[in-house]
Amino acid sequence: MSGILRHRAALPCLVLLAAFAALPLLGLPDYWIYTTTIGFYYALLTASWSLLVGFVGRISFAQTAMAGLGAYSAVLLGQHLGLSIFSGLVAGVVLAALVGLAIGWLTLRLHGAYLGLTTIAFAEILRIAVTAEHGLTKGSLGLPAEALIPNGTRQNYYYLFLAVTVASLLVMAALLRSRVGLFFQAIREDEDGAASLGVRVTLWKTLAFAISSAFAGLAGGLYAHFIQLITPSMMSLQEMGFVLAMAVIGGFHNILFAALGGVGLQFLLELLREMGEWRLVVFGAVAIAMLRFAPNGVFGLLAGAFSSKRGDR
Amino acid sequence: MSLLAIFEQALNGLIISTLYALTALGLSIIFGVLRIVNFAHGEIYMLGGYVYYCAASVLGLPPVVAVASAVLVLMAAGALIERSLIRPVHEGKVDRPDEYAIMITFALSVFLLNFANSVFGPWPQRPAPLFRGRVEIGELIISGDRLAAAGAGVLLILTTVLVLRYTWLGKAVRAISQDRGAAEIFGVDVSRYSMLSFGIGTALAAAAGALIGPVFNVTPIMGVIPVIKAYIIVVLGGLGSIPGAIVGALILGQVESFATILIPDTSRALAYKDAYGLVVLVLILLVRPQGLFGKRERRA
């Protein structure tokens, strides 16, 4: 992780940012601006999931449940405690982080499939509770939420989501470039080895869960106030399956690639609408093929091809 | 609550338990031999229901043949999945095999669910029943197809247990479950039996789906809830433990039948029905990850 790498990655990132910033100005229709804004929600989810799974090696199927937790707490706290939208969002993030902290702490000694099963259970309990408590959450009818930007245009939301996504990615990247990022990867590669070299494994495993959940909660809260109607289906395992497939196709060992997978696939899914449900079949098949043959994802492949062409690996 | 009502609840719990046990048994055999949890197990169960539907209602075959074809088709599919996607884990061809196995089976479930959704549509289909009519035991009335499904389930479970106990195949499967390396040294063709075990595991799930299909209709999402029950059961009994899968199923069936009575408000009680087992799952994993019958592992 030397300065050279940082320098080399900086240019493509800036080009990408400029491209996303320019999209609405180049006359992208409102409908596509809306679609891409939802894509940013998925980008945040896939990036935060990759932070946990790709870097710390802790599998979780509770990412969309955490987004749902953030969304429902932001809206419900706003309505019942009279919080402003902004404080509601903050409360949602804090709550998601605390629940993430609790799950991370409780599951410290679980690994692999056991951890996967436990997080599935947490996610489903949360979804069932939100569905069942219809007095509070209106169950599967959906909970209406206030608009984030009063009388905001599609473009306003687009730029807000873009800004939040970029800022979040920068925070995650800074974290991963710091010593903490090395601790994470050390834990992923060899937990006992890392512990013997003085990495506080317990602390970082727990915190990683909390950080990842916090970003998911932020994504969920913003999403709720953007689409203005949330249902428990946003927390379902099918939704989690999409997030997993997006991250895998983009490349879940790199938060930027995973985020691009999220926004890119959301865009593609809308573009291929006339294929009907078959596009999701293709999507699943591509995710399987990627995992098997190209675990670094589409963008990982592209980046690899690009850097080997320039001969400076 | 009258005595009759208690009997009825208990019997319903027992019938459901049998089919849960069948699904869980498949999951447990796969875990025992391959050390992976098949997160696409629910979709295999669902496809079992659809194969039954195609055979019984579209082709008009007799129900027994339809169940058998579901079992055979998905056994072959399972073997194919093992050969193409799971075997690389044991050949050291993938980095971080644990994660790979979890994610690839989860991605497979996304693929299969949407595949069924595209081919058959999201609406429920009602296949021809296994058995018409009903059975009366004193004042207790049970519908015939439920009883037939449970009966066939018990038969399949017994067959599987006996095969595992007394045949060479069963011995090989148990040997690999205990120690893969040692089994190989003693001449067990590990990769062949791994493929076969995965096939048997998916066949059992398919059988459960085929048997339950005519009772509750078949839909692409029919496997989502039952597979979670199967996870709960295998964790409760101990991952990879065969008696554990059966005892776990019996416990869960009864917990769910009776726990509904705990919350007085019926609509909320029903809504929370699926959550009780999940709470049990979380508690078991946190307190005793090896389950009731499982072996203790240092890294759960």
Q: pLDDT tens for residues B74-118?
A: 999 999 999 999 998 888 888 888 889 999 999 999 999 999 999
SS3 A310: coil
With CB atoms and an 8 Å threshold, state whether A248 touches B103: yes
| Position A309 pLDDT exceeds 70 | no
User: Lowest-confidence range among A4-13, A295-304, B143-152, B252-261?
Assistant: A4-13
Rg of chain B, C-alpha, whole Å: 19
Residue B290's pLDDT is what? Answer: 80
Residue A4's pLDDT is what? Answer: 45
Average pLDDT over residues A252-258: 92
Tens of pLDDT along A192-250? Answer: 888 888 888 889 999 999 999 999 999 999 999 999 999 999 999 999 999 999 999 99
| Position B6 pLDDT exceeds 90 | no
Residue of B nearest to A123 (CA): B278
Please report where in the chains the tokens 């799952």 appear, as a residue: B281
Average pLDDT over residues A123-150: 88
Q: How far is A272 from chain B (nearest CA, A)?
A: 14
CA–CA gap between residue B254 and residue A286 (Å, rounded): 41
- Chain A residues inside the 8 Å CB shell of B275: 124-125, 128-129, 132
Residue B172's pLDDT is what? Answer: 92
| Angle, in degrees to the nearest 10, between helices B224-237 and B273-287 | 30
Q: Which residue in A59, A128, A278 is closest to B99 by CB distance?
A: A59
- More confident site: B8 or A155: A155
Band of pLDDT at residue B12, cut at 50, 70 and 90: confident
Q: How far is A111 from chain B (nearest CA, A)?
A: 6
Band of pLDDT at residue A3, cut at 50, 70 and 90: very low
Which among A158-172, B177-191, B238-252 has the top mean pLDDT? A158-172
Average pLDDT over residues A36-40: 95
- Chain A residues inside the 8 Å CB shell of B278: 121, 124-125, 128
- More confident site: A300 or B2: A300
CA–CA gap between residue B147 and residue B144 (Å, rounded): 5
CA–CA gap between residue B110 and residue B213 (Å, rounded): 21
- Chain A residues inside the 8 Å CB shell of B111: 281, 284-285, 287-288
- More confident site: A217 or A6: A217
| Position B155 pLDDT exceeds 70 | yes
Q: Which residue in B31, B118, B221 is closest to A281 by CB distance?
A: B118
Give me the sign of the Cα torsion angle A281, A284, A289, A294.
positive
Residue B124's pLDDT is what? Answer: 92
- Chain B residues inside the 8 Å CB shell of A63: none
Residue of A nearest to B266 (CA): A132
Residue B73's pLDDT is what? Answer: 97
Tens of pLDDT along B100-109? Answer: 999 999 999 9
User: Lowest-confidence range among A12-21, A202-211, A280-289, B126-135?
Assistant: B126-135
With CB atoms and an 8 Å threshold, state whether B111 touches A285: yes
Q: Which residues contact B68 (CB under 8 A, 6 or more apart)?
A: none
Residue B162's pLDDT is what? Answer: 94
| Position A313 pLDDT exceeds 70 | no
Average pLDDT, chain A: 89
Band of pLDDT at residue A7, cut at 50, 70 and 90: low
With CB atoms and an 8 Å threshold, state whether A292 touches B104: yes
Q: Which residue in A237, A276, A291 is closest to B100 by CB distance?
A: A291
With CB atoms and an 8 Å threshold, state whether B231 touches A117: yes
Average pLDDT, chain B: 87
Q: Which residue in A118, A280, A288 is closest to B104 by CB distance?
A: A288
With CB atoms and an 8 Å threshold, state whether B285 touches A248: no
Q: What percent of chain A has pLDDT over 70?
A: 96
Residue A153's pLDDT is what? Answer: 86
CA–CA gap between residue B219 and residue A139 (Å, rounded): 22
With CB atoms and an 8 Å threshold, state whether B115 touches A242: no
Burial A34-72 (b: 16+ CB within 10 A, else e): bbbbbbbbbbbbbbbbbbbbbbbbbbbbbbbbbbbbbbb
Interface test with A, best of B47, B114, B239, B266 (most A CBs within 10 A): B114
* Cβ atoms < 10 Å from Cβ of B166: 10
Average pLDDT over residues B164-178: 91
Residue B296's pLDDT is what? Answer: 64
Check: CB of residue A45 under 8 Å from CB of residue A216: yes
Interface test with A, best of B28, B274, B282 (most A CBs within 10 A): B282
- Chain A residues inside the 8 Å CB shell of B300: 109-111, 114
Average pLDDT over residues B260-266: 70
Compute the half-sphere exposure of residue A211: CA atoms within 13 Å on the CB side of its CA.
25
Average pLDDT over residues B58-62: 90
With CB atoms and an 8 Å threshold, state whether A277 touches B99: no
Q: How far is A117 from chain B (nearest CA, A)?
A: 7
User: Lowest-confidence range among A47-51, A120-124, B43-47, B286-290?
Assistant: B286-290
Residue A2's pLDDT is what? Answer: 42
Residue A124's pLDDT is what? Answer: 93
Check: CB of residue B109 under 8 Å from CB of residue B40: yes
With CB atoms and an 8 Å threshold, state whether B278 touches A110: no
Residue B128's pLDDT is what? Answer: 83
Q: How far is A108 from chain B (nearest CA, A)?
A: 9
Residue A262 DSSP code: H
Q: Which residue in B100, B115, B285 is closest to A110 by CB distance?
A: B285
Q: What percent of chain B has pLDDT over 70?
A: 96
Q: How many CB pairs under 8 A join A and B?
A: 142
Q: Which residue in B95, B96, B289 is closest to A110 by CB distance?
A: B289
Burial class (CB in 10 A: 0-12, 13-18, 19+), B182: exposed
With CB atoms and an 8 Å threshold, state whether B271 touches A120: no
With CB atoms and an 8 Å threshold, state whether B99 touches A111: no
- More confident site: A12 or A126: A126
Average pLDDT over residues A50-75: 94
Average pLDDT over residues B41-64: 93
Band of pLDDT at residue B218, cut at 50, 70 and 90: very high
Band of pLDDT at residue A1, cut at 50, 70 and 90: very low
SS3 A143: strand
Average pLDDT over residues A180-189: 89
SS3 B141: strand
